[in-house]
Amino acid sequence: MMENNKISVGLDIGTTKIVAMIGRKNEYGKVEILGIGKSKSLGVHRGVVNNITQTIQSIQQAVQEAEAAANEKIEGVTVGIAGQHIRSLQHSDYITRSNSDQVIDEEDIERLINQVHKLVMLPGEEIIHVLPQEYKVDGQAEIKEPIGMYGGRLEANFHVVVGQVSSIRNIGRCVKSAGLQLEGITLEPLASANAVLSQEEKEAGVALIDIGGGTTDLAIFRDGIIRHTAVIPFGGNVITEDIKEGCSIIEKQAELLKIKFGSAWPGENKDNEIVSIPGLRGREPKEITLKNLSKIIHARVVEIIEQVYLEIKNYGHEDRKKTLIAGIVLTGGGSQLKHLKQLVEYITGMDTRIGFPNEHLAGDSDEDIASPLFATAVGLVMDDLKRQHRKKIEEKEEELLQQSEDVSEETIQVAEARASERKSFLDKLTERVKDFLDNAE
């Protein structure tokens, strides 16, 4: 196997399922999925691990299945974090530069970002992501890239994502105990967004809504930059719960009903459409009208969408400068509910499409993989590929620095490539979680 075609693995630890996905870049720069494994997720509730042993078993099962499918051995993985403990805030900060005769460089930005990391959080919380929005240099606003400019005072607005340390460590713990290396940690809404959104949509302004089993994740982009993220602690599972209660049937039947006959729009069903469900052990079968079924689903979906819409309004969607021209993209398993697109358009008045993660996949990818169910997993694989690419650039850079005293053309090229691949804070968080796990044993 060629060195530059190293495999990448994404591990999506969800509330309903755990997916391990193995991929690599093909010669056209697209992502080729080699194998996929999924298992029922038993130890996760609303995106948070609440049973370590069960989660480890589920991870191992998914990983073995993926390894068998791809005929590859999995060593390291990139995992996604979501869950009800994730929140985000806006923060601005500045640094004063001692030497304003020199142009602003990488290090100034690092310094500014590290300052944000010192923000005091609630007990048990840790900063996961610090995403610069725009910069100001000596009071001049709306600067997208300050590197190379002169100025004494550098300030920026940041989108800061915060989460519970213990939850993140628990995920790290599960991965490590399943016999895997933790290569990277990514915010799940970001992973899904990378998989299903096009660059044009991110420029125009778009809200990605990823409806999972236990949580609904939101990521808002505008001018190519992530502007707002939120995790809403409801997903497809609460819809199933409601059907189970409302129709007095067992969960397995409720889930099947939802998938096969469910609709988010009650007007679609005629009054006489009825499904018969076998009764439990010698009991009479139950008859359920589809109209009732979709009324139950409708009520719950409206609630979820309204919460998401509230977050979109919090971001400031109604402000002319912040309008999301590309509207909404729905993804995740929950986005496969019939007539959901129409309902979302009706509630929000925004253009809506269903997002399939085929934006970056190789042309001959399997139908199943391009399903919204796997958006997060595909995004995590892409993230892992990016991380490997960055590692390669850094190694090349080291090598060149050791070889040459004088600055060659190649060193400059490598340095430029490096600048475009700034080390993300997640990498720092990953390091911290790794250190913690190594020292905790």
- What pLDDT digit, counting tens, does each position of 53-104 carry? 999 999 999 999 999 999 999 999 999 988 888 888 999 999 999 988 899 9
pLDDT value of position 377: 95
Residue 202 has pLDDT above 90, yes or no: yes
Beta bridge partners of 31: 25, 361
Predicted pLDDT of residue 416: 65
Q: Tell me, what CATH number does 274's domain have?
A: 3.30.420.40
Residue 67 belongs to what H/E stretch? helix 52-70
Q: Region 304-321: what's the mean pLDDT?
A: 92
pLDDT of residue 423: 60
**273: in domain:** yes
Contact status, residue 369 vs residue 360, Cβ threshold 8 Å: no
Mean pLDDT of 145-152: 92
pLDDT at 206: 97
In a domain, 332, yes or no: no
**Helices and strands in the chain, H and E counts:** 12, 18
Question: Which comes out higher in pLDDT, residue 439 or 346?
Answer: 346
Place of tokens 């090229």: 413
- The per-residue pLDDT for 170 is 94
CA distances from 93 to 16, 112, 343 (A): 39, 7, 40
Residue 213 in tokens: 């089993």
Of the given ranges (115-119, 202-206, 403-407), which has the lowest mean pLDDT?
403-407
In the prediction, which pLDDT does 428 show? Answer: 74
Which residues sit opposite 36 in a β-bridge?
21
pLDDT tens digits, one per residue of 10-48: 999 999 999 999 999 988 888 999 999 999 999 999 889
pLDDT score recorded for residue 3: 45
Q: Is residue 265 part of a domain?
A: yes
Q: Tell me the mean pLDDT in the region 214-221.
A: 94
417 pLDDT above the threshold of 70: no
Does residue 200 or residue 280 have the better pLDDT? 200
Q: Are 184 and 383 a contacting pair, CB within 8 Å?
A: yes
pTM value is 0.88
Asked whether residue 2 carries a pLDDT value surpassing 70, the answer given is: no
User: What is the structure's pLDDT at 27?
Assistant: 86
> Mean pLDDT of all residues in the chain?
89
Residue at 255 is within a domain: yes
Cβ neighbours for 96, distance < 8 A, ≥ 6 positions apart? 152, 153
Q: Is the pLDDT of residue 4 over 60?
A: no
CA distance 229 to 27: 33
How high is the pLDDT of residue 312? 95
Does some domain include residue 286?
yes
Q: What is the mean pLDDT of residues 157-184?
A: 93
- Of residues 312, 87, 83, the one with CA closest to residue 216: 83
Most confident of 4-13, 219-228, 408-417: 219-228
H-type alpha helices, 76-159: 106-116
* Lowest-confidence segment of 5-9, 19-23, 437-441 by average pLDDT: 437-441
Question: How many beta carbons lie within 10 A of that of residue 363, not counting itself?
Answer: 9
Q: Distances in Å between the alpha carbon of 193 and those of 62, 157, 270, 342, 344?
A: 23, 22, 37, 21, 18
Report d(CA 214, CA 237) in Å as an integer. Answer: 6
| pLDDT value at residue 1 | 35
Cα separation, 221 vs 315, in Å, equals 10
Rounded-to-integer distance, Cα 193 and Cα 52, Å: 28
Name the band, by pLDDT with cuts 50, 70 and 90, for residue 120: confident
pLDDT of residue 214: 92
How high is the pLDDT of residue 238? 95
Q: Is residue 368 part of a domain?
A: no
Where b means 16+ CB within 10 Å and e means fewer, 322-335 reads: bebebbbbbbbbbb
DSSP string, 357-409: TTSSB-TT--TGGGSGGGHHHHHHHHHHHHHHHHHHHHHHHHHHHHH-SS--H
CA nearest to 95, candidates 87, 86, 82, 104: 104
Q: Helices 409-420 and 375-403 meet at what angle, rounded to 10?
A: 150
Q: State the total domains in the chain.
A: 1
Residue 432's pLDDT is: 81
Residue 248 is part of which domain span? Answer: 236-300
Is residue 260 domain-resident? yes
> Of all helices (H) and strands (E), which one includes residue 66?
helix 52-70
What tokens appear for 413 in the block? 């090229």
Give CA–CA dist 264/341, Å, rounded. 9
More confident position, 367 or 302:
302
Question: What is the C-alpha separation between 242 and 89, in angstroms, rounded?
Answer: 32
Integer-rounded Cα Rg, in Å, for the chain is 23
Alpha-carbon distance of 337 to 343, in angstroms, equals 11
Give the DSSP H or E segment for 274: strand 274-277
- Segment 97-124 shows an average pLDDT of 89
In the chain, the percentage of residues whose pLDDT exceeds 70 is 93
pLDDT of residue 242: 96
